[in-house]
Structure 1
Amino acid sequence: MKRAAMAGALAIAALPASGWAQPSAAAPAFPEIRFAINTDTTTSMPGNVLRNTFTDEILANVVESLVALKSDSSIAPMLADSWDISPDGKQYTFHLRHGVVFHNGTPFTSADVKWSYDYFMKPQSGYVCRGNYDGHRGPKVLAVTTPDPRTVVFELDRPSALFLTHMTEPRCPLAILSPASLDKNGTWLKPVGTGPFIFSEWKQGQYVLLTPFAQYRSRTEPPSGLAGAKHPRANVRFVAVPDEAAQVSALMSGQIDMMHISENTRPPSDPHWHVIAGPGADPAAFLMQTRDPLLADVRIRRAIALAVDLPGVVNAVSGGLARYNSSLTPDAEALYTAGDAVGYKQNLPEVKRLLAAAGYAGQTLTLETNRRYVHMYSSAVYMQSLLSQAGIKVKLQVVEWGTQVNDFRSGHFQLMSFGYSARIEPALMYGDVLGDKSKNPMVQWENPKARALLRSIDGVTDPAARKQVFEQLHQMMMDDVPMIVLNDTPDLTLVSNRLQGVTTWPLGLQRFFNVTKN
């Protein structure tokens, strides 16, 4: 830890002095916020095949799409003030904002929307989400037309409830860019977008510097997620510090101002910093291999679900920062319902009855976990102990994270303490866990009726109708017990007390607009 902290300190010491950025001749002096990231971004292009999590985090402050995600994952206007959907759901007409300019000062028009879409859809662009628009993972966009500078029309081959949602996908947004993002040969230079910050400087392996866009035209709605009002108040430097311990040390010494933090690395309380905790959207789960000879019996799986005080496990593992949520719909989402809040309740007499009915004779189950993600390991330890106390014999198998991922992908496990990355809509998460294990061993839930129910809302945009279906899917999954969803991993940020306006977001991307530094 000392060596890591020293390496991090040396890397940060090589940067310009903290407190104030080095302004250009034309730019006013702003305070500088320093945010620690584990590794450098690998590209400056939104959604590029080389992207990583930090690419997404940086560019969320630089580029914008026609619409934006609010904190509850609902859709809000951004570069489009409004849109109309044709009665058959196949035509989206966007009415664009007036007065918006790109970072190079050129006006934003419908031609830029079409140019951006056409660029991303070229195979040589390396855009990873072309499948959302070419018919592979969603509807096929048949045409993008521009009747006038303030109007753009997308024609689809079929209706899609997730068309707008895909535009906002954090890992590959349909960002609206200026053609100045490319050189005269069509080679990528840097993102010239419309967002509140300019992608100003990138010293690879060390930092990325964002500076406020003086001509940014903020929306007037209340800020929420990536939507609403955005006011850039400081320069932002993303500093690459690989080790979490080194990041904490750098924050304590005042060399950085913010960092993401895991629930098991919280430093002691201090007048100079604090932890901001908010709901997350990454589900922590206890997986059960339903094709295992013993676990193929739903009575055994149900006994496992009823043998443990699951809210107590969640509280113990998270230190009280998370609450039990048995649904694949995050409890921070607008689509979450009272039905989603219904989970398993410990019932030891029923456990005894189910085990006897299934003919359970004390066979030992193997629970696989890892030490890299402490919450997965801690959950496994609690589950193993409590299941054994309830008469279900379980032994732990601790493996390297890479081995566990391979076992998950191949389906070679009995029980597994695992976690999924957040999805921007419950349909995408249910789509990941539902399927046929013969074709895709990574799916956990084989239920043809549930798959048909999920497909039935492919073109349904009414939130009330979608809520009803997700609630039904939750109840069906509770009955089948292919997995036990424990909680949504909390979003934690360690912040210097010099900053004001920092908020969390279930999708984890840190937003630096509306944040000030004293």
Structure 2
Amino acid sequence: MTPARPDALHPAALMYAAEVKDGQLNRREFLTRVTSLGLTASAAYGLLGLNAPARAAGHAQQGGTLRMQIAVRALKDPRAFDWPQIAYYTSGWLEYLVEYNNDGTFAPLLLESWSANDNATEYALNLRKGVTWNDGTPFTAADVARNITGWCDKSVKGNSMAGRFATLIDPDTDKAIDGAITVADDHTVLLKLPVPDITLIAGMADYPAQIVPMDFDPENMLANPKGTGPYVPDTYEVGVRGSLNRNEGHAWWGYAAGKGAHIDRFEFIDYGTDPADWAAAAANDAVDVIYETVGDFVDTLDVLGWQKSEVASGSTIVIRPNQLAEVDGMRPYADVRVRLAIAMAVDPAVCLELGYANRGIPARNQHVGPMHPEWADVPAIQIDPEAALALLTAAGMASFEMEIISVDDDWRRNTTDAVAALLLDAGFKVKRTIVPASTYRENWTTYPFSSTDWNHRPLGTQVLALAYRSGEAWNEAGFANPEFDALLAKANAIADADARRVVMARLQSIMRDEGVILQPYWRSLYRHVKPGVVGGEMNIAYLPRLYDFGFAA
């Protein structure tokens, strides 16, 4: 396969551009489609007669210490990262192949470019030349091939990257298909898939996809912080704080490429889960950046005069019954009637109002929405509390007390409170339990009935594969449906979103008809930064982009 030029046109790009101009395709969907196939953002915008947006951090001065309010969580193998806050710290020295932007575009980082054949069964990944590990050794295609092979290893506990690269995994070995990942030369990796898959580039941009060295040891990553990035760890105390310093001895590739890394030192400070404490830290000039501003505290930070960024997203909350969980010797949520009764009793609009101050749009319990290019307009289940109780009674579960668990924070606790209240109003028996963040993080996939926040993903098929395909590490609902898995594989093999939407309609219908989850709303995301901070805009998928931050020149 011939490596792509930076401005190479995929055969479908011109057709997609024409569809945008005719009003058949929205701009965001177009940008995601064509850049995932190898077109640069500037070339994609050019096809629409537009200029790509400039990077705000280009107006930053060099130097300074930036303090961020953020949860400081225990470190582990990036493949097992299940909270993006972990990735913020390690991204100082462990970088990504690809970045994902708020406008929907994918852009190269450690890759210089990539290309896909017409049916997305072959990919050529072209590495950026001149990149070195911070010990001076060259970064080569062998490093990339080794990481992708590691992503495909399903034997690694908690490895969610295997869900993103399932097409490359041999079901008989639970490891990469022999011959699917090859090194063509020092700067080219070739991927050959048994079936088409349009999601691979998007998977490389997700926060667990950090590139690690050959001798990487997650137990020793702070003592031996080998990576390609511009920073090295200084201090790290879980639940308290961490810090990164510029690696003065490393000739980071990004300086010459104009990627930024303006800040000399990052300090990450954990103020707990109460947003009131975050706002107090801002008011007392103890931080420069709020990781994420939530609920009514958006207004609080506005009043302080801090700069706000906002992005509508596919981020959400899922309150799910776990179909595999046992309670008192039975599996109460294995019965579809129980799950449907829960869904029929809970009004998403009420959850949005009480849980997130109406800062978003209602959803339909399908975990695919209008922000996804292949979304199908599948109606939601009808909300009918009286019918919900009747269905629960028919299942013989009217006397069963449902314990609903959430973390002790602001919007997730409030939303789960709203769900519990609506179920109680419908006549269900409900016990509400709130646990500390540290306890919740250890058990989030196994609680019988609990709430979890889920980040935005560019494609709806990505979300469904990570969260609902049988046996995946993040399948907290315990959902397993052979028809669903087969349809998902079929959808991932269809490059055109309009054709994929036909399959997606059935997938969304299964999610609804099986009562897999409560997923009541889509969130707008907010971040506030102190006046004078640039490049700190909220990323639509919470991706760690420390190189963007700076102080105004």
What TM-score do the two structures reach when normalised by structure 1? 0.69
CA distance in 2, matches of 1:446, 1:83: 34
Q: CA deviation at 1:317?
A: 0.9
Q: Paired residue for 2:520? A: 486
1:95-494 matches, within 5 Å, as 95-97=126-128, 101-102=131-132, 112-118=140-146, 131=162, 132=165, 135=170, 139-140=176-177, 142=179, 145=182, 147=184, 151-156=188-193, 159-174=196-211, 189-193=224-228, 198-200=230-232, 202-205=234-237, 206-210=242-246, 216=254, 230-241=259-270, 243=272, 247-261=278-292, 263=294, 266=297, 267=300, 269-288=302-321, 298=336, 301-329=339-367, 331=369, 333-335=371-373, 337=375, 339=377, 342-347=379-384, 355=391, 358=394, 363=399, 365-370=401-406, 372-390=408-426, 392-398=427-433, 400=435, 409=445, 413=448, 416-422=449-455, 424=457, 425-431=459-465, 433-434=467-468, 442-457=476-491, 459-488=493-522, 490-494=524-528
What amino acid maps onto 2:270 in structure 1?
A: V
* Shift of residue 316, structure 1, vs aligned partner: 1.8
Deviation at 1:237, TM superposition (A): 0.8
Separation (CA, whole Å) in 2 of partners of 1:423 and 1:64 = 20
- In 1, distance between residues paired with 2:342 and 2:161? 41
Alignment of structure 1 residues 4-43 onto 2, 5 Å: 30-39=63-72, 42=75
In the alignment, is residue 511 of structure 1 matched against residue 545 of structure 2? yes
Counterpart CA distance in 1 for 2:104 and 2:490 is 21
Q: Secondary structure at the match of 1:382?
A: helix
Aligned residue for 2:531? 497
Secondary structure (helix, strand or coil) at the match of 2:87 reads: helix
* SS of corresponding position for 1:234: coil
Conserved 8 A contact 1:86-1:92: yes
Q: Structure 2 counterpart of 1:83, which letter?
A: W
Q: Which has the higher helix share?
A: 2
- Alignment CA distance shift 1:113-1:141 (3 Å): farther
Q: Once the 2 structures are TM-superposed, how far is the Cα of residue 280 of structure 1 from its aligned partner?
A: 4.9
List per-residue Cα deviations over 1:373-425 (Å, max 9, x = no partner).
443432343233333434x33322325357778887556x4xx3411443745
CA distance, structure 1, for counterparts of residue 467 and residue 429 of structure 2: 24
Deviations 1:468-500 (A, max 9, x none): 433321122112223221124553433212223
Residue 318 (structure 1) shift: 0.5
Does the Cα contact within 8 Å between 1:139 and 1:158 map onto a contact in 2? Answer: no
| Sequence identity percentage | 14
Shift in Å, 1:319 = 1.3
Q: Quote the Cα distance in structure 2 between the aligned partners of 1:501 and 1:303.
A: 46
How many residue pairs get aligned? The number is 461
Q: TM-score, normalised by structure 2?
A: 0.66
Question: Which structure would you say has the larger Rg?
Answer: 1
1:216–1:284 Cα change, 3 Å: closer
Separation in 1, partners of 2:336, 2:202? 35
Structure 2: which amino acid aligns with 1:85?
A
Q: Secondary structure at the match of 2:538?
A: coil
| Pair 157,368 (structure 1): closer, same or farther in 2 beyond 3 Å | same
Assess, with a 3 A threshold, how the Cα gap between structure 1 residues 431 and 128 changes in structure 2: closer, same or farther.
Answer: closer
Moved more, 317-326 or 155-164: 155-164
2: CA distance, partners of 1:389 / 1:294: 20
CA RMSD between the two structures: 4.8
String of CA shifts for 1:284-331, please: whole Å, max 9, x gaps: 223246687876665564444334432122122101223222255454
* 1:461/1:80 CA distance change after superposition, 3 Å: farther
- Judged with a 3 Å threshold, the aligned counterparts in structure 2 of structure 1 residues 406 and 251 are, in CA distance, closer, same or farther, namely closer
* Alpha-carbon displacement from aligned partner over 1:224-256 (angstroms, at most 9, x marks no partner): xxxxx8444433413343535665444322232
Whole-angstrom distance in 1 between the partners of 2:466 and 2:131: 39
Change (3 A) 1:32 1:450: same
Check conservation: 2:319, 2:519, Cα contact below 8 A.
yes
Query: Letter of the aligned partner of 1:238 in structure 2?
Result: E
Q: Which structure 1 segments of 5+ residues have no match?
A: 1-27, 220-228
